[in-house]
Amino acid sequence: MSINKVIQVEDLTKMFGDFTAVNSITFDVEKGEIFGFLGANGAGKTTAMKMLIGILSPTAGEATVAGFDVFTNAEDIKKNIGYMSQKFALYDDLTVKENITFFGGIYGLSKSKIKEKSNTLIEDLGLEKVANQLVGALPLGWKQKISFSVALLHDPKIVFLDEPTGGVDPITRRQFWEMIYKAANHGTTVFVTTHYMDEAEYCDRVSIMVNGKIEALDTPKKLKEQFNAATMNDVFLKLARG
């Protein structure tokens, strides 16, 4: 196993009864890479991701995440990854600080560490004024940024982002991608699903899933050449239409 491959997937398959949601996918992701995981709704990207983060057991195939096997070491995987869902799930009835403390706590961070992290986080995001306000009162874009920072709280090796920019405006999305770059520069691997094709251009490499299979996998530049398309959107359309 290569040290630099933080995610290795081979012939990973998930079946729900007769339905094959994920059909024998193979790929790997390198350390510090921003890996875009694209696909239409229902293509199987969320199912694939759930297998990688250890909340859904695969039907067949092999996969290791952060060096741990998804079949046997799901608990170890959980300690080494961060996860942000498309709902930016934070507790609306807790304050910003309480949310940070809680999530830091369930990852086993010490009190002093939580305090230190929480202060830097609040400072970095410019949240000083709202640190003691309930999260429910904050705009969506702020929740998204807090949610991402919380996912990085325990310095995970890999952070999984499930459609992290749904429903927020273009400027906030842009700012959010700057946060992603910053995390990647610090050596965190970013695994991100999205259906905004312009965002695909920001990724180091992208894979495109169609009907449970990975139909394309390369850098955005090479994919555009391969499919003779001007934008990632055109690549995607060509693939999706078959």
Partner 1 sequence: MKRFIGFIKKEFYHIFRDRRSLFILFGMPIAQILLFGFAITNEINNVDIAILDHSKDATTKEIINRIAASKYFSIKQMVTHEANIASVFQKGHVKAVLNFEKDFSKNLIKDHKATVQIIADATDPNTANTISNYVNAILQQYQKELNKDITIVYQIVPETRMVYNPELKSVYMFVPGVMTIILMLVSAMMTSISITREKELGTMEILLVSPLKPFQVIIGKVFPYIFLSIINAVVIVMLSIFIFNMPVQGSLFLLALESVLFIISALALGILISTISATQQTAMMISLMGLMLPVILLSGFIFPISSMPLPLQVISNIIPAKWFIIIIKGIMLKGVGLQFVWKETLILLGMTVFFIALSVKKYKIRLE
Measure the CA–CA gap between 154 and 113, rounded to whole angstroms: 9
Instruction: List helix spans (H) across the chain.
Output: 45-52, 74-80, 96-106, 111-124, 140-151, 170-185, 197-200, 220-226, 232-240
Taking CB under 8 A as the criterion, which residues in 119-178 touch partner 1?
134, 160
Position 20 contacts partner 1 (CB under 8 A): no
- The angle formed by the CA atoms of residues 153, 97 and 162, to the nearest 5 degrees, is 45
Asked if residue 156 lies in contact with residue 188, where contact means CB atoms within 8 angstroms, the answer is: yes
Instruction: Name which position in 101, 175, 211, 233 contacts partner 1 (CB under 8 A).
Output: 101
In the complex, least distance from residue 74 CB atom to partner 1, rounded to whole angstroms = 10
Interaction between residue 227 and partner 1 (CB under 8 A):
no
Residue 230 C-beta-side C-alpha neighbours within 13 Å? 0
Q: Candidates 92-100, 166-174, 213-221, 230-238 — which segment interacts with partner 1 by CB under 8 A? A: 92-100
Segment near partner 1 (CB under 8 A); pick from 2-10, 29-37, 106-114, 200-208: 106-114
34 vs 167: CA distance, rounded Å? 21
Q: Which range of residues in 26-34, 79-87, 123-131, 164-172 is near partner 1 by CB under 8 A?
A: 79-87
In the list 94, 125, 131, 229, the residue contacting partner 1 (rule: CB under 8 A) is 94
Q: Which two tokens stand for residue 24?
A: 């024998």
Contact residues: partner 1, CB under 8 A: 53-57, 75, 78-79, 81, 83, 85-94, 98, 101-103, 105-108, 134, 160
